[in-house]
Amino acid sequence: MAIKDALRVALPVPLRRTFDYKLPSSAAGVVPGCRVQVPLRKRSVVGVVCAAHVRTDLSARKLKTVSRVLDQEAVFPEPLFRLLLWAAEYYQHPVGEILHVALPVVLRRGGSLQPARSRHWQITAQGIEALQTLAKRSVVQRRLLESLKAAASDGLGDGDVRFLADRAQPALARLVTRGWVTSTESDDHPLLDAAQGARPRLNDAQSQAVARINASLGRYTSYLLHGVTGAGKTEVYLRSAAEAISRGGQVMVLVPEIALTPQLVERFQHGLTGKLVVLHSGLGSRQRHRAWWAARQGAADVVLGTRSAVFTPLERPALIIVDEEHDASYKQQDGFRYNARDIAVKRAQQEKIPVLLGSATPALETVENTRRGRYRLLVLPQRAGGSAMPRVHLVDLKSVPVHNGLSAPVVKALAGRLEREEQSIVYVNRRGFAPVVLCSDCGWQGKCRRCDASLTLHQGSGRLRCHHCGAARSAPVSCPACGQQGLYHVGEGTQRVEGELSRLFPAARVLRLDSDSTAGKGRLEQALSSIHSGQADIVVGTQMLSKGHHFAGVTLVCVLNTDRGLFSFDFRASERLFQQLTQVAGRAGRGSRHGDVVVQTMFPEALSYVQLNRHDFDGFATACLAERRAAGYPPYAQFVLLRAEAHQQETPMRFLTSAATTARRWLNQHPVPDIRLMEPVPSPMERRAGRFRAQLLVSGTRRGSLGEFLRHWLAELETLRLAGRVRWSVDVDPLDLY
């Protein structure tokens, strides 16, 4: 007999469905969006209620009962809850996993909705005396007492004691009972005070942009703020955010990477008045929970964070800002493969508020949306403060030799800057010392045992590392195959260029900025501080240098080895190359002195380099969009990539072949002329992290019909015999076809 009063619950499992449960008689008032703890097979999991009081076809005997109702109110505001359900439909991802991702870790584990206040611990006089006689077997208690004694009157916080011992809390409870330790509640909170300082004068273009954004507060409008590098986009963000806050609203600001967070936090703290909270993956789970709660309750006026912050609940949403909107870091590359920029636009639409996308090199999809009138264009054509765009010089490597990656024109330009006590950037988009290690006698090459990739030599550690799976091993002194001494190091990474610059300019202060040199707490902030304070003469770095940083003392940027971007199989490669070149070139000449950019290339006639030389983004975008329209590529079609991987080489291809057969069968029964189904192929890097990979590309020109096809197709794929023998996923709007 069917039951008419069940709960429909989304669980964090890889199934595109919800589960029905019975509400216990002792519980009442359950609403969609609240969390419940339920039994699932032999374990207990936390789920989110999607619907209450629904009819289920399960019999009373089969319908399990909710173990515990965790919330008396919805965790998500109603517009955000609708957004998450929309995302499940659009990205064809299990709704339970999406709702799970949108929650802080503490809430995923069944913790209280409101974060508990942390405690501060101090040792008492009795505790100091007890240390002398404490039994040796009381290892945890002794460690805690000794650490508290060393901390003296400062004491230790919850995070400190958890770091000292796994079982710190039970031990602390015993110490408190004995009177050896005391505790007080800490009034710590994640809110940062923002106090407006002196504001720079806006130019006409900035003023017009701010006026248009402010006029749209209270209704949905999508804006593209397209300004040249150094045009003062951040000041436009600040003025618009300040107006939204003055009207009682909250502002969400997204940045692509943690590296940009300290700089933007500082700008916002000095650019407006209010409370600011930061959300990114570098925070601990308790810190993120407190920041999430401050945003949800409306205590934070500005929420500034990276990709996942787009799901943060707001009590009074008024404006969303997406800085460097073109950046690929906004795309999640595993699990729930969403694009935070696109989610932000949809969220603004549902919240009925404006969204501002800012970039000097907008994504071509964004450009096309602007040309079609879906987004409104705001242009900042000149640099703020009157500084000129840098001069671009192309060095043709067909006629100029290089040594350890550096040509004579680059060395000469760097020497000139050192003489004038100006700063330079050398852009090398490869970490390590050399990307290829080989034997010139027998041809042996250092290859990853788990990936179809070469190992990169990291000279400082003497290790060969795979930049795809992270595997590492000691670098051989002689060839493992033939015993030849002295292996050949091909190509230049940041470490090799750093060493060559230190040799050429021994008196110069050379600083390397990449993910290796900045690993560790505080090292990135320390490196950026050194650049800003003028303590570095030459900065060697990767893409970390190209994204939004304002280095007033930098007057020269040298670009070494970006030609490989011209020959990628990925149709987005030229777009990314132009974006990288423009962004890193834009670090030069942002202060009072004129800037220069020197680009080494074997192909100075390539479109990316020609248009960079002219600072002509519009011309580049027009040419690329014409090519994509002719080829039927995004933004003139939508791509969906079905990926599969397994330990056996043939299994992914067998699964995808079955998937293609299933798709064709459905399309024959439901003809949709605009959907194209490609043949399954091995991924360009077929083996990665010990697993063989393959992919199947689907495209369509109408989102509605493509979405309907995907719903039926993926439901059938879950029933295939091979589906349980591979790890498979679907990527809607993929950025990388590998």
Examine the pLDDT at 160 and tell me if it is beyond 90: no
pLDDT for residue 139: 82
Helix spans in 190-304 (H): 204-215, 233-246, 261-271, 285-296
Cα 616 to Cα 232, 256, 621, distances in angstroms: 19, 24, 9
pLDDT for residue 655: 97
pLDDT for residue 3: 65
pLDDT for residue 698: 97
pLDDT in tens, 372-417: 999 999 999 999 887 889 999 999 999 999 998 899 999 999 999 9
Q: How far is the C-alpha of 570 from the C-alpha of 737, rounded, in Å? A: 6
Examine the pLDDT at 157 and tell me if it is beyond 90: no
Examine the pLDDT at 360 and tell me if it is beyond 70: yes
Please report which confidence band the pLDDT of residue 186 belongs to, taking 50, 70 and 90 as the band edges. low
pLDDT for residue 140: 84
pLDDT for residue 549: 79
**Domain covering 3-108 in this structure, CATH number:** 3.40.1440.60
pLDDT for residue 166: 65
pLDDT for residue 76: 95
- Looking at residue 447, the DSSP 8-state letter turns out to be B
pLDDT in tens, 70-103: 998 999 999 999 999 999 999 999 999 999 999 9
pLDDT for residue 138: 84
Residue with tokens 């787009």: 310
Query: Which of 511 and 194 is assigned the larger pLDDT?
Result: 511
pLDDT for residue 2: 58
Examine the pLDDT at 552 and tell me if it is beyond 90: no
First CA to last CA distance, the chain: 50
Residue 142 corresponds to which tokens in the numbers above? 């002794």
Q: Per the CATH hierarchy, to which homologous superfamily does domain 192-385 belong?
A: P-loop containing nucleotide triphosphate hydrolases (3.40.50.300)
Examine the pLDDT at 105 and tell me if it is beyond 60: yes
Amino acid at 506: P
pLDDT in tens, 106-148: 999 998 999 877 777 888 989 888 888 888 788 888 888 888 8
Q: Is the dihedral of CA 679, 685, 686, 691 positive or negative?
A: negative
Could you tell me what percentage of the chain is helix, strand and coil, using 3-state DSSP and rounding each to the nearest 5?
A: 35, 25, 40
Examine the pLDDT at 165 and tell me if it is beyond 80: no
pLDDT in tens, 43-63: 999 999 999 888 888 887 788
Most confident of 169-183, 365-379, 540-554, 713-727: 365-379
Helices (H) and strands (E) in the chain, counts: 21, 34
Instruction: Give Cβ neighbours of residue 436 (< 8 Å, ≥ 6 apart).
Output: 445, 446, 454, 489, 490, 491
Examine the pLDDT at 697 and tell me if it is beyond 70: yes
pLDDT for residue 163: 67
Q: Which CATH architecture has domain 638-732?
A: 2-Layer Sandwich (3.30)
pLDDT for residue 187: 58
pLDDT above 90 covers a percentage of the chain that reads: 61
Q: Which CATH architecture has domain 387-430+492-628?
A: 3-Layer(aba) Sandwich (3.40)
Examine the pLDDT at 1 and tell me if it is beyond 60: no
pLDDT in tens, 571-629: 899 999 999 999 999 999 887 789 999 999 999 999 999 999 999 999 999 999 999 99
pTM: 0.87
Tell me which of 28-42, 428-442, 592-606 is least confident: 428-442
Q: Do the beta carbons of residue 722 and residue 655 sit within 8 Å?
A: yes
Examine the pLDDT at 185 and tell me if it is beyond 80: no
Identify the CA nearest to 21 among candidates 43, 41, 49, 44: 49
Average model confidence (pLDDT) for the chain?
A: 90
CA-based max dimension of the chain: 88
Sort strands 192-194 and 274-279 into parallel, antiparallel or unpaired.
antiparallel
